[in-house]
Structure 1
Amino acid sequence: MPLTTRRRVAARHGLLALALVPALAAHAKDTPQDDRHFDAAATESSSDPAVASAPPSRRTTTLDSVNVTARKRTERIQDVPIAISVFSAQALDDFKIDSGGELLRATPNVNFSKSNFASYNFSIRGIGTKALSVASDPAVAISFNGMPLVRNRLFEQEYFDVQRVEVLRGPQGTLYGRNAIGGVVNMIPNLPSTDGFEAYVKAENGNFDSRRGQAMLNLPLGDSFAVRVAGAFTQRDGFDYNTQTERRVNGRDLWSTRTSALWTPNERVTASLVWEHFQEDDDRSRTGKQLCTRDRGPASVGGHEIKDVWTRDFLSQGCLPGSLYGDDAFGTPNGGSLPQMLGVAAIGTPIGYRPGGRTLVWAVGGPGMGALDPYGDRQQSRNLREIATDYDPRFKAGNDVVQLNLDADLNQHLTFTSQTGYSRDSYWSTQDYNRYPSDPIFNDSDGVVDRQGNPVYPITPGGVYTDPQLGPSKGMLSADLVDARSRQWSQEFRLRSQFDGRFNFNVGVNYLDFQIDESYYVFNNLYSMLAELFYNQGSGIGKPPLDCKPGYVKPLPNGQQLSCVYIDPNSIDSLDGNGHNYFRSRNVASTRSLGIFGEGYWQLADTLKLTTGLRHTWDRKTTTPYPTQLLLAPDARAGGFVNSGYPAGEDIVQKWGETTGRVVLDWTPDVGFTDHTLLYASYARGYKAGGTNSPLIDGDRDYLTFNDADPRFRPEFVNAFELGTKNTLAGGRVQLAASAFYYDYKDYQVSQIVDRATLNENFDATLYGLDLEAAWQATERLRLNANLGYLKTRIANGEQSIDVLDRTQGNEDWLVVRPWLQQSSNCIAPVEVVEKLLAAIENGKITHNVLNQLCNSKNGLFSGWLLPGHRYSDMLGFTYDPNIDAPNGGRGFMADLGGNELPNAPRITFNLGAQYTVPLRANWDLTLRGDYYRQGKSYARVYNTEVDKLRAWNNINLSFTLENLSSQVAIQLYVKNLLDDAPITDAFVNSDDTGAGSNVFTLDPRIIGLSISKRF
């Protein structure tokens, strides 16, 4: 459906909902009201009047006492010995928190960032998800109405008809299960109520041509049954402007709907069924701008001056590890050093001859010209919201969640709960991969002839090459694609006691079955051209490339066989997935997990309670690796085993059986100067399963050398200690909560891209800090709130890792060298070896290609696939083998990480909010609110180098709300990001073969909106 059509349909649906509400309201006047109370303790989803809906007036003299279900039973938040922040629907609106990623502005020691691929990182107290693998788990459990979701869109869709959101800080594995080592975010929707008719509509317009709407209808159908339907949509233009295509991009076109039914056949049984659907189809961009401090390559090596740019390109990594904030960061990579450009120059792409002569014409460049730089050494705009790419992003996602809850009071003391859940998720996102526009690089094939003067195969007519996936272009064009499908189902049974004595319990068992099939593609028109002109040009220069079918093999006169590289002829929207003219990393994994858990609550004295909990988890993960096949085919030129498809490797099966738990002692003394005080001390043991890295390249090791690594990474464990207090003072006008924590963390999982694959490493660390939250109802009209998070993280001594941006670690006796096209990662080589090779190149003994053979040596040979078995050492008079003569097989020197801070762990997070209500005539209130948030400096990676530094940033939001207390009409004007700041909130370093640029993420720009809402 075209975008404009979808918008019209959404608008018509919104108008229809608005038209229906008054009629339904009139009908509801005669509808009998159900006076039964829905037991929140049973399903964690009740309509608690303290948090469920907007109050009739903001004028109050005390703060609300909010009920939560953090321990899967209903309790006042002041009585729960857990560091927890709770946001009702009204609080979310007050803070202008529209989606899960914005929770960081109102929660201490919380951070959020999108990732480079299909996931995100929500971290609590420095613990998040830095492992990039379909077999990795989130460190913070994301739950929908108490149901854990491995893959979800709860941080992409916008909140609507929410009862409350609970953010639990610290390990919560006992009751919430796996993936709760950092904490839990539980979004609890409003479920149907039999108490009476309800309806709500809201319409909003804003800048960037934003249109948003929400509607809800709660309809009792008799005394024991009710249904509730809610929905929301958002449409807006893009926040970013693409100067290359002259279009706004990074817009939104999404909608969500939730339908639920509640049945209470008697006072002892409650059942509910919930279905929620999310859909998005727009031009969202997964990442922001890509920054790069250009690496021009060395001007000299040792005492040898480098006289040509091509040689310097072989010794350039594309981008240097410079600050993201200086002018140099807004450069472009050294495009001539990209492997595909070096490959084109080294192999040559001859397409024919000029008429009447013997001058050879190449598709790109020309003989002896060396590598071209498609980026032309240009500078980018410093505006992070302005990009320049040849390819606009496209984004599609869909998610369904179905949940069945059953609660039965077996007797007056025991409640049985069953929760069955199913979820499926789809994700499809493509965007420009190189993130920079290219100059024209293709030569015109019109008029080019073969040796007999006949017209040649017109591969670049008019200087345009047409890639089967990316279409026509005069310059280098590249794009990536994430295509993922997943599904899960889960089942949990619990038995909870409510005895009158000093002991109660909550015990249960749950099971999770999760499966995912995710592919990550990288397309580049030079890959396709090389496949056509080098690997598939079996008939000679100027002839059409071979019609390469899967499994094609052509006998040669010398008794050998010639294969070819299969080129997928389909567009990016309908790939067959078997092409070797693109990079594809396919990741298929499944997780099956069984947990048995229980918590016991001992009332040791009237004011003293002991909580103990244990959980044993059995995790089984199965990963099917599909090694990558870029430009591989089964012959000496291509160094592969198949010419098409992605054969699966042997399944990798991992199993864990771990016991975790918690012990909490809480005390509620009467201290005299407070209305209520809770003091608690806790110890918790947390666990998160390990996993597998994405698969490596499936090349022939006789011709292509790769750094094989263990595909598995270890699980995480934490011993968490916490002291906390919660207080109510001044007759309920002040609430104050504080907690101090210390974590001893083992094997924190952190990823980087190595060999075109995710390499997940494990690091030990310690963390400690402080959370503070305060609220003060100063007067009937004035309310103040504040929170403060302090966090200090430290990676353990002895931890090491190779930094792909600084492989030499400042050692001047070594240089970074580019690999061959079909390899992936740079290597390092001794200055003295490179100096000798440069002299041999100048003397005509060898070609430039030998430089990138330094990353591909075996047994002291400079061999590779160009000259298999030939000893360059005989010609040069020396040998060199990186597996023997270089640190870590030539990959580089280890960086010492001991004492460094964990990534995305700012030392300070701070929020201060104030709202003041002015009573007006005719029962109207005007509420003015402002919120200030500050996040301290942090680092994007574990190396803590200059390129990793993320500066502190601020965010200011304002709102003006006019409410009529009798008609429940509200008009609101708000401004988010008042100062229109664009801080860099996180960064991701790309792989070696793309130049190692840094994709950066920032805030949304200044957003101004005006809404009107009505409750019935």
Structure 2
Amino acid sequence: MMVSLCKQKKLIAQAIQANNSVNHAPPWYSVAIACLILSATPPTTHAQDGQAEEKEQRSRQAIEEVTVTAQKIEQSIQDVPIAVSAFSGDSMDALKIERGEELLRAIPNVNFSKSNFSTYNFSIRGVGTKAVSAASDPAVAVSFNNASLIRNRLFEQEFFDVQRIEVLRGPQGTLYGRNATAGVVNMLPVMPEDEFASEIKAEIGNYSSKRASGMFNLPLGDTLAFRLSGAMTKRDGFDYNLHTGNDVNDRDLYSTRAIFEWEPSESFNANLIWQHFEEDDRRSRTGKQLCTKDPGLSKVGETELTGFTPVFFSQGCLPGSIYSDDAYDAPNARGFANILVTGLIPTHIGPVIDWYTDPYENSTQSHDLRKIETSYDPVFRAENDLVQLNFEWDLGNALTFYSQSTYAKDDYYSSQDYNRYVSDPIFNDTGDLNPTPGGIYTDPQLGPSEGLLAVDISRSDNKQWSQEFRLQTSFDGPWNFSVGTNYLDFKTQDDYFIFNNVFSMLAEYLYNQDTDELGFLSTRNCTEPEGNVGSDCVYVDPNSIENIDEEGHNYFLSRNLVETRSWALFGEAYWQINDDVKLTTGLRYTDDRKRSTPVPSQLLLGTQYNDETGEISSGELSGGLTHRGYPEGDQVSLSWKEYTGRAVLDWRTETPFTDDTMLYVSFAHGYKGGGTNPPRAEIDPVIVQYQPLEETFEPEFVNAIEFGTKNTLLEGSLSLNANAFYYDYTDYQVSQIVDRISLNENFDAESMGLELELAWQLTEATRVDLNMGYLKTRIADGEESIDVMDRTQGNEDWVLVRPSIQVPSNCIAPVDLVETVMSAPNIFAIWSLCSGSARYGSYSPEVQGGGFRHDIIYGVDPYNPVTDAPNGGRGFSADLSANELPNAPRFTINFGVEHTIPIENWDLILRADYYRQSESYARVYNTEYDRLKAWSNLNASVSLGNPSNDLYMQLYVKNIFDDAPITDMFTNSDDSGLTTNVFTLEPRIVGFNISKGF
């Protein structure tokens, strides 16, 4: 009997109503499924015989079942009551997902961004690792073969010989990670097999790209097997340095993995895994550096600013949109305090640098984000080794014992131009016996230069040892459980250096200066303090940048030494209440201990030595307490003992529209440890007072509720999974650069959203994939933070002031007081408004905290910025209430279509994937400066394969439209002018590969 489409809708509606009256199924659920089917079914008629034929055809085109280990046991992904996405090696190759950062294109509500240093932020549902600190833990646990790795190269090395990638969304407070609050990314390698097999793959592409990978699987008798695999990539740079004429941001890397597996009996299995990754190239940690120039003020109050005084009131860069044309300017470097101080260096013919010099006055930038202009090409090196030993022992009585031992070592080194602009010549010709003969200064680390030159080094050395034991049951009855314990010992040393030729000049010719009767400058030997009567002694490292002794005070060094020791007891119980309903409960007890060794920075800090008395005192000019080296402070120990866990109720039910349906509801409580903020400079408080900052940051907690459904429809040819979630976050950790350190702050927040994942084998030849995510995040009411880009928050009675070089951050001061101080004979007294500097005011112990009596000189009331200004002079707090969390786009969508055309023994496969994310914010302040525009990405591939000969070829294009969206940004420090480093998507990549299996 023929039925019209209208009658179909009516009959389905009647079926829904009848089903709801009998089975009490939620009406919205049945209607949603029905609408999905009707919207995708063409308006044709079907005879009863045709329906049977169609059912048989759909059965033949069923989507391949995906097996995951999201609950530490192998299960179909449709049976796991967790929001999890999984990708086999073949599916990643089809999607052209080659590194961890590209996973965002296939998973709803996922985002990725690099960080400014040696880490990255992989965020799930708006929650990621925005705390840039050696003492912070990742919110998303990155695991190799179920072992969580605090530091790893998963997002830098390329995937090879991968069995599966699993991404679990939501807090994993029981089985995975160290209480990952956002989720887990778990990469599982292909294990040895019992048959001989091998494969080799080669690829060429644009940017002179050359890639190769392969594997070799060899059974060694009946009980032992060996698998060796590897991959290498070499290509030219994506970016071009207009100044040096070199391509930068290239890649030269390789990875290898060896696995031995031993199975002497059916009850025992062991495997040993070794993996190595190495990279050595000119990859840049960051992209272009942007700045909307801040010209400074023309007047303060009623006082006109003349001469060089405006530089005291310029922060270098303004908080303008990073998408405006003005953002391609350079910072107002006349505001760099070190430049002003350098002008004080006298010679017999005048100052080394003219008062009005702006090193970047003539700097220009291309508006092409892939073209930079720097004096120094980047250097990048990374090396990672991992060894893992696994045991699986069937104890009988449905009990299995697991042991996993993992050791990982990770070394990282990256160096690049710090200021990212090419300086004008700035040095005067001071003669052969003075610091800048011929207008050139020779820095001991950076060599000769006629302009301002700054280079950084980001370096990290990490070691990790972990051990896990687990006992798991497989009883036939309604109860099962998994219990275990694990231990982690992690040690890290993170170093960040900044070398600047003006720093070295200041150390040699200002702090360590000596002048003969003719006015010629010479430097003192500060290896030993003898002979430095009446002046500071600042040790200048004489070695090249490749061989520094790491004791120089002519460069900046932030050293972070952290050791983490953690152990946990965990377990999950599974109660099959009846054939359709199961309850999962999990609990974890974690004991975290972190020990940090503070190493204060010592930039341009020295001591005074009196050879008549033999006494050493703090430097009157520099404010330092030591003239050489980086003494370690007392260790700081923190510990937390926390319970986390989850409870999940899942229910399998039947509907008229699905083959298999599961509904679930879960509650999870997650936790992530806190830590210490890095130490600041070790300055004598009598000389310079500090603005108050928190020395530690709190652990973060999340309570998460999730409702979800997983469905198989149309005889297995369609899978449809959806969920809704709500997070209540306490003390979410976010960082910004303050006082030359990464200051970690805590904010309460909430997050809610919806997710949909659909895979539909429309015909035997055509498949459609669709992922959609909706996310709404909100910082809690009453949360505040000081925005370094806008310290006055529009208050006209206060003004921003640039301090002396000893004070790392800008401050604010009252307008009327600034006007009074500016009338003083010594204009540099303005610096005392940020620090109460004894060099420019009269010190009085009567003022709380060691303030300075400006009334003695200026006729005003005593003023101490630490006590008399908002937040110790740091500025007015910005209200964060209802702001969105950073890197949390409201919408993400990925749509993919794949079509196969059989050609005799060959399969021609056409595939295209489109990804888009909506706009988001890079920082918690949600200003126009923070806004990241929406961006999209389109990829396509054509593959030709002969399964019978195991021969495959593929031509692909990634980022077809060659877009360069800004995916994230990082705000540099105040004394760098508050410049912005941006991160972009890779350009259009075209490649052709061929693989052959044997």
Assess same fold via TM > 0.5.
yes
Aligned residue for 1:350, secondary structure, equals: coil
Letter in 2 for 1:330: Y
Letter in 1 for 2:718: V
Letter in 2 for 1:1004: E
Equivalent-residue separation in structure 2 for 1:399 and 1:942 (angstroms) = 33
Contact 1:334 1:377 in 2 (8 A): no
Equivalent-residue separation in structure 2 for 1:457 and 1:315 (angstroms) = 36
Aligned residue for 1:615, secondary structure, equals: strand
Please list, as runs of the form range in 1=range in 2, the aligned pairs for 1:458-477 lying within 5 A after superposition: 458-477=434-453
* Offset, 1:869: 10
RMSD: 1.7
- Select which of 661, 670, 682 maps to 2:666: 682
- Corresponding residue number in structure 2 for 1:221: 220
- Select which of 524, 529, 532 maps to 1:552: 529
- Select which of 345, 354, 362 maps to 1:349: 345
* Offset, 1:854: 1.2
Aligned residue for 2:174, secondary structure, equals: helix
Aligned residue for 2:577, secondary structure, equals: strand
- Select which of 633, 655, 665 maps to 2:649: 665
Contact 1:505 1:600 in 2 (8 A): yes
- Corresponding residue number in structure 2 for 1:981: 963
- Corresponding residue number in structure 1 for 2:873: 890
- 1:282 pairs with 2:281: yes
- Corresponding residue number in structure 2 for 1:210: 209
- Corresponding residue number in structure 2 for 1:414: 399
Name stretches of at least 5 consecutive residues in structure 1 with no aligned partner. 1-58, 354-359, 449-455
- 1:949 pairs with 2:928: no
- 1:1012 pairs with 2:985: no
Aligned residue for 1:824, secondary structure, equals: coil
- Select which of 560, 573, 579 maps to 1:587: 560
* Offset, 1:172: 0.8
Equivalent-residue separation in structure 1 for 2:203 and 2:93 (angstroms) = 13
Please list, as runs of the form range in 1=range in 2, the aligned pairs for 1:686-697 lying within 5 A after superposition: 686-697=670-681
* Offset, 1:861: 7.8
- Corresponding residue number in structure 2 for 1:601: 574
Aligned residue for 1:554, secondary structure, equals: coil
* Offset, 1:675: 1.0
- 1:542 pairs with 2:540: no
Equivalent-residue separation in structure 1 for 2:283 and 2:154 (angstroms) = 16
Contact 2:296 2:311 in 1 (8 A): yes
- Select which of 495, 504, 511 maps to 2:487: 511
- Corresponding residue number in structure 1 for 2:689: 705
Letter in 2 for 1:294: K
* Offset, 1:241: 0.5
Aligned residue for 1:362, secondary structure, equals: coil
- Corresponding residue number in structure 1 for 2:88: 88
Equivalent-residue separation in structure 1 for 2:278 and 2:742 (angstroms) = 29
- Corresponding residue number in structure 2 for 1:920: 903
Map Cα deviations across residues 883-941 of structure 1 (whole Å, 9 max, x no partner): 233111111001000100000001101000001111113x1111110000001110000
Equivalent-residue separation in structure 2 for 1:484 and 1:164 (angstroms) = 29
Equivalent-residue separation in structure 2 for 1:645 and 1:393 (angstroms) = 27
**TM-score (normalizing by structure 1):** 0.89
Map Cα deviations across residues 972-1011 of structure 1 (whole Å, 9 max, x no partner): 1100000000011101111100000111101000000011
Contact 1:624 1:650 in 2 (8 A): yes
Map Cα deviations across residues 404-436 of structure 1 (whole Å, 9 max, x no partner): 000000004000000000000000100010011
Aligned residue for 2:226, secondary structure, equals: strand
CA separation of 1:987/1:869 partners in 2, compared to 1, >3 Å: closer, same or farther? closer
* Offset, 1:740: 0.3
Map Cα deviations across residues 330-386 of structure 1 (whole Å, 9 max, x no partner): 1110011012212223xx1223x3xxxxxx332222xxxx24110015341111111
Letter in 1 for 2:524: L
Equivalent-residue separation in structure 1 for 2:830 and 2:769 (angstroms) = 62
* Offset, 1:864: 8.1
Letter in 2 for 1:847: N
Equivalent-residue separation in structure 2 for 1:864 and 1:192 (angstroms) = 74
- 1:775 pairs with 2:745: no
Map Cα deviations across residues 675-707 of structure 1 (whole Å, 9 max, x no partner): 111110000000000011111110011111212
* Offset, 1:730: 0.2
Equivalent-residue separation in structure 2 for 1:378 and 1:631 (angstroms) = 28
- 1:857 pairs with 2:826: no
Contact 1:118 1:482 in 2 (8 A): yes
Equivalent-residue separation in structure 1 for 2:532 and 2:145 (angstroms) = 63
Equivalent-residue separation in structure 2 for 1:581 and 1:823 (angstroms) = 16
- Corresponding residue number in structure 1 for 2:417: 432
* Offset, 1:220: 0.4
- Corresponding residue number in structure 2 for 1:452: none
Equivalent-residue separation in structure 2 for 1:377 and 1:531 (angstroms) = 27
Contact 1:862 1:873 in 2 (8 A): no
- Corresponding residue number in structure 2 for 1:828: 812
Contact 2:363 2:424 in 1 (8 A): no
- Corresponding residue number in structure 2 for 1:36: none
Equivalent-residue separation in structure 2 for 1:186 and 1:422 (angstroms) = 17
CA separation of 1:870/1:174 partners in 2, compared to 1, >3 Å: closer, same or farther? closer
* Offset, 1:539: 4.5
CA separation of 1:662/1:871 partners in 2, compared to 1, >3 Å: closer, same or farther? closer
- Corresponding residue number in structure 1 for 2:71: 71
Please list, as runs of the form range in 1=range in 2, the aligned pairs for 1:746-765 lying within 5 A after superposition: 746-765=730-749
Aligned residue for 1:668, secondary structure, equals: strand
Equivalent-residue separation in structure 1 for 2:177 and 2:352 (angstroms) = 58
Equivalent-residue separation in structure 1 for 2:852 and 2:88 (angstroms) = 72
CA separation of 1:731/1:114 partners in 2, compared to 1, >3 Å: closer, same or farther? same
CA separation of 1:349/1:227 partners in 2, compared to 1, >3 Å: closer, same or farther? same
Equivalent-residue separation in structure 1 for 2:887 and 2:649 (angstroms) = 31
Equivalent-residue separation in structure 2 for 1:937 and 1:746 (angstroms) = 25
Contact 2:691 2:873 in 1 (8 A): no
CA separation of 1:847/1:971 partners in 2, compared to 1, >3 Å: closer, same or farther? same
- Corresponding residue number in structure 2 for 1:40: none
Map Cα deviations across residues 584-612 of structure 1 (whole Å, 9 max, x no partner): 01100100000000000000011000000
Letter in 2 for 1:476: L
* Offset, 1:835: 2.1
- Corresponding residue number in structure 1 for 2:544: 571
Letter in 1 for 2:880: L
Contact 2:114 2:120 in 1 (8 A): yes
Please list, as runs of the form range in 1=range in 2, the aligned pairs for 1:17-96 lying within 5 A after superposition: 61-96=61-96
- Corresponding residue number in structure 2 for 1:271: 270
Letter in 1 for 2:829: V
Equivalent-residue separation in structure 1 for 2:374 and 2:124 (angstroms) = 35
Please list, as runs of the form range in 1=range in 2, the aligned pairs for 1:59-458 lying within 5 A after superposition: 61-194=61-194, 196-308=195-307, 310-345=308-343, 348-351=344-347, 353=348, 360-365=349-354, 370-445=355-430, 448=431, 457-458=433-434
- Corresponding residue number in structure 2 for 1:27: none
Equivalent-residue separation in structure 2 for 1:784 and 1:440 (angstroms) = 59
* Offset, 1:290: 1.0
- Corresponding residue number in structure 1 for 2:779: 795
Bigger drift between 466-475 and 265-274 goes to 466-475
**TM-score (normalizing by structure 2):** 0.91
* Offset, 1:862: 2.9
* Offset, 1:442: 1.1
Aligned residue for 1:797, secondary structure, equals: coil
Bigger drift between 883-892 and 792-801 goes to 883-892
Contact 1:553 1:563 in 2 (8 A): no
**What fraction of aligned residue pairs are identical, expressed as a percent?**
57
Equivalent-residue separation in structure 1 for 2:293 and 2:400 (angstroms) = 65
Contact 2:625 2:683 in 1 (8 A): yes
Equivalent-residue separation in structure 2 for 1:537 and 1:996 (angstroms) = 31
Letter in 2 for 1:940: A
Contact 1:931 1:956 in 2 (8 A): yes
* Offset, 1:860: 13
- Corresponding residue number in structure 1 for 2:20: none
* Offset, 1:853: 2.0
Name stretches of at least 5 consecutive residues in structure 2 with no aligned partner. 1-58, 608-618, 845-849
Aligned residue for 1:175, secondary structure, equals: coil
Map Cα deviations across residues 776-808 of structure 1 (whole Å, 9 max, x no partner): 100111100000010000000010010000000
